[in-house]
Amino acid sequence: MRRALITGITGQDGSYLAEHLLSLGYEVHGIVRRIALEDPGHRMKRIAHLLDDLVLHPGTMESYGSIVSVLAQQRFDECYHLAAQSFVPESFVDGFSTLNVNTTGTHHVLAALRQTQPEARFYFAGSSEMFGRAREVPQRESTPFHPRSPYGISKLAAYWLTVNHREAFGMHCSSGILFNHESPRRPHEFVSRKITRGAARIASGLERQLALGNLDARRDWGHAADYVRAMHLMLQQDAPADFVVGTGRSHSVRDLCAVAFEAVGLDYREHVTVDPRFLRPAEVDVLEADASAARDRLGWEPTYTFEGMVREMVDADLATARAGAS
Ligand code: G4F
C-alpha cells in the first residue's frame, strides 16, 4: 500500500486529493493545525466524511520542528504540499504572514523531507498568479513570471525552492502551476463562490444585491476535482517536472455572474454592483492556460465545463440557502 502525506488536507484541494488517493488504495495522512483538531466540526468539514480513513498529525507550516517530527516517524512515498495562505487580497493586507506560511513553510517541508527521506516524491502547489502581468496569452511552463501580489511572490519563491531541491539535491520535486480551480467546497470569499452563493441567496430572497470588484478580470476556471488528478499524475512520472494545469479557456468575472444568475432565472445586471473596496492595488488581468504539456505527457484532461461547474456550485448553494444555513 502506498503512503501519501498531504499538507493542507482540510482545504478544498486537500479534500478532493484525499478522496482521490483513497480511491486509488493509498494510506493517506494529513498534517493539520492543532486548532483544527480541537474544532473538527467547523475546520474539518470538507474531510468529515473521510475522517475514519485518514491519519492526521498535528503540525503547522510555520514550525520546522512540527513538520520534521511527523516525517521522522514514518516514510511516505509521496508528499503533496498544498497548505498555504491562498487568498490574494489578504496578502496585500499582511504580506509578512503570507510569505511566512507560503515560502518559509514550503522551505520547512522541503528541508524536513531532505533530512528524513530525500527519496520521497514531492508536489508543490504552484499558482498561475506567478505569471501575474503575463507577457503572453495563453501561459505555458516557459512563460516569464511577473507576480503582482505578495501572494504571487510567495508562491514564486517557493516554486524556485522546489526547483532548487530538484537540481541541487536530486530530489523528485515537481510543481503544478495551477490556474483557478473551484467547486462547492471553495471558501466564500473567492469570487466564484461569492457569486454562486450570492445568486443562490438572492434567488432565495435572503439578499438583494451582490457587491464585487473588477468584473473585467479574466481567469481560466476549472474544477478542483479534475486538478487533483493532475497532481497525482505528476508524481507518477519517472522524472520530476513542472506542469501548467488549466482548461485553456478564460472567462471574465462578468461571464461567471451571467452564468450563475441565469442558473437561478435572474439577470445579474439587476443585482451586481461594483464596490471599490474589492478592487486590488495591482490586478492580474488575464490568465489562460496552455496545458498541452499536461495533456501530452501526463494524459490529463479536464472533464468539467465552465458552465457545468458554475451550475454545480449554484445548485449546492441553493440547497444550503433553502436549508437556512449560511
Ligand atoms: O477568486 P479570486 O479571489 O482568485 P485569484 O485572485 O485569481 O486567485 C485564486 O487563483 C489562483 C490561481 O490563479 C490561486 F493561486 C489563488 O490561491 C486563488 O485560488 O479572484 C479572481 C478575480 C480577480 O481578478 C479579482 O480581482 O476576481 C476578481 N474579483 C472581482 N470581484 C473578485 C471580486 N475577487 C474576489 N475575491 N472578490 C470579489 O468581490
pLDDT at 36: 86
Per-residue pLDDT of the chain (326 residues; tens, 9 = 90+): 999 999 999 999 999 999 999 999 999 999 999 988 888 888 899 999 999 999 999 999 999 999 999 999 999 999 999 999 999 999 999 999 999 999 999 999 999 999 999 999 999 999 999 999 999 999 999 999 999 999 999 999 999 999 999 999 999 999 999 999 999 999 999 999 999 999 999 999 999 999 999 999 999 999 999 999 999 999 999 999 999 999 999 999 999 999 999 999 999 999 999 999 999 999 999 999 999 999 999 999 999 999 999 999 999 999 999 998 76
Beta bridge partners of 5: 29, 79
188-192's contacts with Cβ under 8 Å and 24+ in sequence apart are 189/87, 189/89, 190/87, 191/253, 191/256, 192/221, 192/256, 192/310, 192/313
Which residue, among 137, 156, 135, has the nearest Cα to 147 in the 3D structure? 156
CA of 86 to the centre of ligand 1 (A): 10
Q: Which residues line ligand 1 (CB under 6 A)?
A: 86, 88, 127-129, 179-180, 189-192, 194, 212-214, 217, 219, 253, 278, 280, 283-284, 287
Q: Which three three-digit cell numbers place residue 240? A: 520530476
Burial of 273 per CB tally in 10 Å (0-12, 13-18, 19+): exposed
